[in-house]
Amino acid sequence: MLIILNNEIRMIDSLYSLNDLHRASGGENKYSPFRFMRLTSTKALIKEIERSPDVVSGRTGNAYKMNTQGTYVCFELVYSYAIWINAKFALIVIRAFHSMSIEQSQLDIKLSQLCTDFTRASEGASNAGRYLNILGKQIKPELKKQIDVTLKKIQLSFNFDNAYELDDAGGYINDDA
């Protein structure tokens, strides 16, 4: 987002609002967008922009668009417009674009890092899910089975096999005797 002197500059299809720039510059009538668009130098620049493709963005074709919302221009015409107004405003616009460019680069780096972190987390979650599945369906039941077997072995067992019977007084009678 481009902000110049606390004024947000609207965009449509990667074109910037000259009307918003005009307001940001102070809104003097002699610097209105329609006057700028009628300049011979502006018309020549538009022809040159439309003739040569933008190597970075691959944009070709219209350098500007006019509609009921105003006049929208490419960044090259934003610079030209700012220079046409005065050097101070041109410097403000150049620095705003530079600041926006730096912010965009930082956001690109942050987005790249977030995507990398997301991919790693997704892969980790998938691996954890597989491990938990194996743990829950195979390892845990086998360990429970081994625990039960071991507990049975630990318990003391007395095998009387009816070798002893109780007498009337509650004592044991040995049949072998």
Question: Considering the chain, what is the average pLDDT of its residues?
Answer: 83
Q: 72 in helix, strand or coil? A: strand
Residue 48 has pLDDT above 70, yes or no: yes
Total H helices, total E strands in the chain: 6, 8
The partner residues of 172 in beta bridges, in order of sequence, read 166
- Which of the residue ranges 24-33, 41-50, 72-81, 97-106 would you say has the lowest mean pLDDT? 97-106
Q: What is the pLDDT, as a whole number, of residue 151? A: 77
Residue 84 has pLDDT above 70, yes or no: yes
φ and ψ at residue 155, rounded to 5 degrees: -60, 135
Per the listing, tokens 């997704």 go with: 122
